[in-house]
Structure 1
């Protein structure tokens, strides 16, 4: 009996295997179809190029318009890469904050791998325990410098000393440039001011404005901006990375030169480092790593990671703050009535006996409201850096596979009429309550620095710097736009949005 059963089973085995394989195939196909059916909707892509041609010259506007048709979660293709685009404050908040760890990676963009040889915490380092340690050290280093005492009694910390000195020099440069009463483009002065702050922050060194090394550094930054402005199609169509490309060549040239500059600065700091004497962010990083090394070797950064961290801080502090200040001046010129209100507030709260300081942010409510409206209305970081899913996940009922690239449409959130009344209008007053106090719950909805696990660690530093430089200008100057040139609100595309060139004259306030 037993042998007969065994024989029957053996005879049936090929059939059972075939049936099992067939069932498994059916289940896999059904699973793929279900996932496909549960994928986000979106426009039909063209072969090879995907939806590039449907996005036009203003991708942030095109993707915002697509939201009306496809909803807060939809999918496009850029070249061969599927991209999930997320809009709407609550949905973006889910991606960045509520379920932030599910969306905390960076996509494997070719351009990102070039930053710091793939060791950049901002661009390329994978989300995980090592990344968390890296971020914590970076955050603590910024905090250390912000708390580091200064020899100047009228400054609260070393960082404030750096910012106030450059803000004062900027005002004098604007006055000197206006002496002949001929309108000029202030962008180079803004770039130099911000570059010197970030050099002092990163390396404890302030450059003369005509210093060759300093000017080379600024030129290299311009190369980077132009490279990104040209678009890096190699990120989305991999074969293009092997074809000669001016934008890719410019990017590689900038990164090689800039990273060599950073590496040499860090090397010099290691040689001259004195324990418990913090000159700048590089010293703070070295000190923190030495302290952690004595406790736990896994809680430190390699020399290469320190170089990458300084690189990240320099890049973020340069382009973001430059863009913010150029837009702030743009809106001051476009709406001179807001200048009058800021002038009045500064006269009442500070006067002329001393320069503005970080601590004045809590009292200059209208000035703070104006800056928040600049950040919201310009939305000069329209998508932030792309995210990538760390696991298979769901969003608004749609299946998002692990490894999917995600764009968060921060521009749409900053211009959403369900969040902001008359969103397309520039109105600083929207951030003030009936008593003229800042409405904090609204300022937190301005998405420029992101939120959640990948939020910019330097937001407080950036906001303090923007505030002091702008308030110092407004304390001493009235900015008047050129009558011969128009103010064009359509941005110039690059690593961040910047306004097109504008011209002004700076008048000394009496």
Structure 2
């Protein structure tokens, strides 16, 4: 607290009173600038002296160590405090060194670790899941490394399908094995349908995301059904003015043709291209058109800037991120976390603006997109389990729908291209099937899907082999429960290792071989449905991805149209890197050397 215009008598600071004409406020501001990285707040006062409230940071690193932070406060200089507090004559500011803060944090974590360890003990007569020994304070974070899905798959071979680790002070149950996961998420779905209250989750849509929000009650269930119904309706609904079978087919066909054109232009100008940067634009345009219709700003700089940087979201929202389990990391420099925050803020502002523009032109008698359907539902004042779906929640629902129909599809198509150029014989088989079933007179349609089993098998093998969604979004238990004979307490964080299921030796025999034929029935003319249902990518049960049907249809349409018209390849000697980069969705290293040859022209 600084009062008046007198200067502190410190050897390392120039000592003087305010010069003539130099106001006390200016003097105080200079003193604040010298002594603290805080922000001065100047209250409106009268008289020849002023009081300043100063906000000190916990680590006043700009203050010389020999300055004693004990300053006098004179009540006569201005009534900054309430009258009953004016008898206080002085305040003492205490600074803490970095070592002291770290020591305090360590003690806090140790106490929390002891408390949580005691609380997570199984009741008498029951047993907790087994797991590796972990270090105090940090738990098993070092064991997870840069690829937690691989580390936890190895641990499951030793400890079984239900094991327990710790990240920091937080116990986490890890589920592996198809039967165990199905038991938990489907048969005991009500026990495992929760979401943990993780820090990164609170940053998505200001903590109101239906997908990431810890709420799992009736209001959440009702809004999830509403979002899923809206998404499915505008996927399969038909446009009377279009020859396409549904809105999805219409939008994808249009964007696929535009994508072919852009690839041909790039081949003519540069002789090569990066497929990811082109695909991401087309997929965003499809889901944007379904969500907003003509109100979606296709190919605008703002939209492209967001979708091209979606990796800023997936690299931080991944399972096992230490920032979710070590609170001190919220306050330390973290470029990835800062990018994550900024991306979510930009994306939310973009959606809010687009939804508001849509509402200005809303016509309840002409519903042509998902947002319009949600507006109509809101205006009706429809009640779901006693809760109105308010208009401010529409942005949150649209955010989840857009996310469900964007990143997974983009990543799947991008991985498909990588497998096509590294397995040219598979690409030729797909094109032979397309030529035989469809020919070259018309583009593929959704109704052709059952007659193209090899293409469908290729898509399934891409899902399985890449396992680009290594974990489901973390679950949590809604009540005390048991699984495979192990006790799991309420509100326990649960990781579900989809990568392990997709690479289980017992299920697949040769899990590390890319072999689409494994999904074909004995006749080769149909998909082995039993085996196809063992691929895990979209989760299971009550938290299953609402965009699963949309994603599978859209991926099929994009690939069938592109492969009918184009042949993809790499220049001689160029190789691609198929090593996954860990995240919520795992990307591959970008390749800028793709080439595309037009197989035939449409007159």
Please indicate, yes or no, whether the TM-score normalized by the shorter chain is above 0.5.
yes
From 348, 360, 373, the equivalent of 2:436 is: 348
Counterpart secondary structure, 1:286 = helix
In structure 2, what is the equivalent of residue 171 of structure 1? Answer: 260
Structure 2: unaligned runs, 5 residues or longer: 1-117
CA contact (8 A) 1:137 1:288 kept: no
The question of 1:390 aligning with 2:481 is answered no
Provide the C-alpha distance between the structure 2 equivalents of 1:171 and 1:82, rounded to a whole number of angstroms: 49
Cα distance change on mapping 1:55 and 1:227 into 2, 3 Å:
closer
* Deviation digits for residues 400-440 of structure 1 (CA, Å, limit 9, x no counterpart): 00000001111011111211131111111111112221111
CA contact (8 A) 2:319 2:495 kept: no
Provide the C-alpha distance between the structure 2 equivalents of 1:224 and 1:407, rounded to a whole number of angstroms: 19
Provide the C-alpha distance between the structure 2 equivalents of 1:270 and 1:484, rounded to a whole number of angstroms: 53
In structure 2, what is the equivalent of residue 127 of structure 1? Answer: 216
CA contact (8 A) 1:133 1:299 kept: no
Cα distance change on mapping 1:476 and 1:242 into 2, 3 Å:
same
From 188, 199, 219, the equivalent of 2:277 is: 188
Residue range with higher mean Cα deviation, 153-162 or 380-389: 153-162
In structure 2, what is the equivalent of residue 23 of structure 1? Answer: none
The question of 1:376 aligning with 2:486 is answered no
From 148, 167, 175, the equivalent of 1:78 is: 167
CA contact (8 A) 1:477 1:506 kept: yes
Work out which of the two has the higher radius of gyration on C-alpha atoms and give 1 or 2. 2
In structure 1, what is the equivalent of residue 286 of structure 2? Answer: 197
The question of 1:149 aligning with 2:149 is answered no
* Deviation digits for residues 35-61 of structure 1 (CA, Å, limit 9, x no counterpart): 697111111111222111112222111
Provide the C-alpha distance between the structure 1 equivalents of 2:383 and 2:495, rounded to a whole number of angstroms: 39
Counterpart secondary structure, 2:495 = strand
The question of 1:249 aligning with 2:338 is answered yes
Aligned runs of 1:44-83 on 2, under 5 Å?
A: 44-83=133-172
CA contact (8 A) 1:167 1:473 kept: yes
In structure 2, what is the equivalent of residue 109 of structure 1? Answer: 198
Provide the C-alpha distance between the structure 2 equivalents of 1:33 and 1:75, rounded to a whole number of angstroms: 13
Aligned runs of 1:312-461 on 2, under 5 Å?
A: 312-436=400-524, 437-461=526-550
The question of 1:267 aligning with 2:356 is answered yes
Aligned residues: 480
CA contact (8 A) 1:121 1:308 kept: yes
CA contact (8 A) 2:306 2:343 kept: no
From 125, 129, 144, the equivalent of 1:40 is: 129
Aligned runs of 1:471-486 on 2, under 5 Å?
A: 471-486=560-575
Alignment RMSD:
2.2
Deviation at 1:300, TM superposition (A): 3.5
Provide the C-alpha distance between the structure 2 equivalents of 1:232 and 1:295, rounded to a whole number of angstroms: 38
Deviation at 1:138, TM superposition (A): 0.7
Provide the C-alpha distance between the structure 2 equivalents of 1:189 and 1:91, rounded to a whole number of angstroms: 39
CA contact (8 A) 1:145 1:284 kept: no
Provide the C-alpha distance between the structure 1 equivalents of 2:247 and 2:588, rounded to a whole number of angstroms: 31
* Deviation digits for residues 279-316 of structure 1 (CA, Å, limit 9, x no counterpart): 2211122223334x256682542223211111111122
Deviation at 1:31, TM superposition (A): 11
CA contact (8 A) 1:207 1:214 kept: yes
Q: TM-score, normalised by structure 2?
A: 0.76
The question of 1:465 aligning with 2:548 is answered no
Residue range with higher mean Cα deviation, 156-165 or 224-233: 224-233
Aligned runs of 1:280-295 on 2, under 5 Å?
A: 280-291=369-380, 293-294=381-382
Residue range with higher mean Cα deviation, 173-182 or 115-124: 173-182
CA contact (8 A) 2:195 2:474 kept: yes
Deviation at 1:34, TM superposition (A): 4.4
Provide the C-alpha distance between the structure 2 equivalents of 1:397 and 1:222, rounded to a whole number of angstroms: 39
Provide the C-alpha distance between the structure 2 equivalents of 1:199 and 1:153, rounded to a whole number of angstroms: 19
Counterpart secondary structure, 2:191 = helix
